[in-house]
Structure 1
Amino acid sequence: MKRPGTINFDGLADRMPGMGRDAASIRRRIEAMEGLLERMFVLPGINKPIGLDVLLDLVPVVGPAVGAVMGSWLAWEARNLGMSKWQMARMFGNVGVDLLLGAIPWIGAIPDFFFRSNSRNLRIIKRHLDKHHPATATIEGVVKG
């Protein structure tokens, strides 16, 4: 029973666009977080996308930990989709490897160019969504005109 003057946060979240617990909302959130962490901007000259994850690795100790927490959020969202324990273990393993590589001061940013744990985790989640929630699938590609 709801007490007078209280706010139902579950209902409020479901009414806000993109904040619901449905698979389509979760897909949009995880894609946005992966973009922030892995593809925020492109390095000029080498045309390589980097994100907040690489930048955080430049801050010794705290940076990789913050990146790992943000990457773990993707796995937490995946848990809300009902993904298997094996898939969850793979995702947390990817975050752990990224944390260990990033723990090397300054040099830890270099492996992030090649081992993109958040992109790997996004692929795992998308495979699950495409199989179990096909209505949320998006078509990716480039339109040339």
Structure 2
Amino acid sequence: MNVAVKILEKKALKKLGKDKTNTNSENPYNEKVPIYKGNKIVKWKTQERPIPAGLSQNDAKILRKVRKRAYRWDMGFRCCCLNVRFGWSAIIGLLPVIGDAIDLLMALSLIKKAAKVDGGLPKRLYGMMFTNIMLDFAIGFIPLLGDFADVFFRANTRNAWLLDAYLTEKAKALQAGVVQDPETGSIVQIPEELLVTEGNRDVETGVAPATASTMQGPAPVTPAAVTASRPVRNVPTTPQNPPGAPVRKLTPPRAPIGGGLPGRQITPQKQDPRDNRARR
């Protein structure tokens, strides 16, 4: 566990230096995407930064919240005169003593939220986040100049980028199935604390690694396994005459006499001779 987390921590810090990310000025929540018309850029569109594919639902949810809070607290507003962005952290910090204390509690709550990722945060990254908060708290005690410097230091934005870099490298390791040290080339298996189950994977952006079962496709369903939704009635079938037996002909029913119901025969009644004697 410690070896894998240290390798991910090292790769995260290397990623921040390689990408030259301005952790105190670049927006951690939104990004600008160019819109092309032909081969030319027509305009730029602002949209939410995508979540690294392969993270669990818990890690993806925490990363979204940390990004959004850091953006609101450090870069939620823009000054029309100086073209400088600031947030609620700078506004609250203007209050004497109480404002700095509230700002400190807000920053600590952000670290507490980030530490709830699967497996926790590496000790070095956790220490760097805490150091950023202490520096921001110390700068805020300087009258006037400290409040102005607090606008540009942006401890919450720095901590959001540290968490982003760590979870990005963690997502790559989860997709690969192993953690590889870039310096020594040693390969370490991902510990169970960092593994993502299928039910806990982020469905919206997560991509499950290919396995033998998923590559072969779903198992075929046999007809015996399929159960009928409704019971099948026994329909009587007409018996067939065996070969060589005489064919029986059915005679049609006689027509009714006197106009009765179809299929019913009415026989005429015999006349009583005594009726004739009475008439005479």
TM-score bin, normalised by smaller chain: 0.7 to 0.9
Mark the runs of 5 or more structure 1 residues left unpaired by the alignment.
1-20, 138-145
Residue among 66, 71, 81 paired with 1:35: 71
Instruction: Give CA deviations for 1:88-113 in whole Å, capped at 9, x if unaligned.
Output: 11101100010111122433211113
Instruction: State the partner residue of 2:257.
Output: none
Task: Kindly tell me the number of residue pairs found equivalent between the two proteins.
Answer: 118
CA shift, 1:120, in A, is: 0.7
Q: Does 1:85 align with 2:123?
A: yes
Q: Does 1:95 align with 2:147?
A: no
Letter matched to residue 108 of structure 2:
S
Equivalent pair of 1:58/1:108 in contact (CA under 8 Å):
no
Tell me the residue number matched to 2:39: none
1:1-145 equivalences under 5 Å are 22-81=58-117, 82-133=120-171
Letter in 2 for 1:100: A
> In the TM superposition, what is the alpha-carbon distance from 1:69 to its structure 2 partner?
0.9
Report the TM-score when normalising by structure 1: 0.74
Are 1:78 and 1:88, in contact at CA under 8 Å, matched by a contact in 2?
A: no
Could you tell me whether the CA contact under 8 Å between 2:129 and 2:159 is conserved in 1? Answer: yes
Instruction: Give the number of the structure whose alpha-carbon radius of gyration is greater.
Output: 2
Identity %: 28
Give 4+ residue runs of structure 1 displaced > 4 Å after superposition.
Answer: 134-137
- Which sections of structure 2, spanning at least 5 residues, go unmatched? 1-56, 173-201, 207-280
Which has a greater percent of strand?
A: 2
CA distance in 2, matches of 1:49, 1:116: 10
Query: 1:36 and 1:108 mapped to 2: Cα distance?
Result: 20
State the Cα RMSD in Å.
Answer: 2.1
What is the distance in 2 between the residues matched to 1:23 and 1:52?
25
